Amino acid sequence: MAKLVPENHPALHTIAEEVTEEEIANGTIAKLVKDMKAALKTYDVDGYTAVAIAAPQIGVSKRVFIVEDQSNDRDSLPSFVAINPRITKTSRRTHLVGEGCLSVPDRYGQVRRHKNVTLRALDETGTEYERGAGGLLAQIIQHENDHLDGILFVDIAEEVFTKAELDARNQT
């Protein structure tokens, strides 16, 4: 089974390769998506569940991410696969939002993200689609897309803190 790679893994710090039509047709991407879903389901740290994962997070430098909310305590996010995704439009309005990451355990941060984005990508069958997103889903799309460009949230965060620092803040 695929596992999350450590923060220093090269796949997390390089621009991922485009997926080819052949990789979709021959089942390579179907297996990759299955492995990503399995890795996503195993994540549970201090009660936090995962909502999305990018291929580089399991050591595969391919331009694929999935959104599949593992939480039961909020309105569920839509589940989808994004192959060779491109953010084609962003709102002018941005906001500072809290983020964590499967690949950067025990650290959280404040990242400036666009409030709304439009994503164009291929689904797991190779069919192109476009979807708009706002709020949390827009944030997730930007975060996962960053992974495909070798960027971790700690690279662009305005502030980074540990879980202990976060817990101390929440108690005051």
Residues labelled as active-site residues: 144
Strand-pair category, 80-90 with 94-99: unpaired
Nearest partner of 54 among 160, 166, 170, 142, judged by Cα: 142
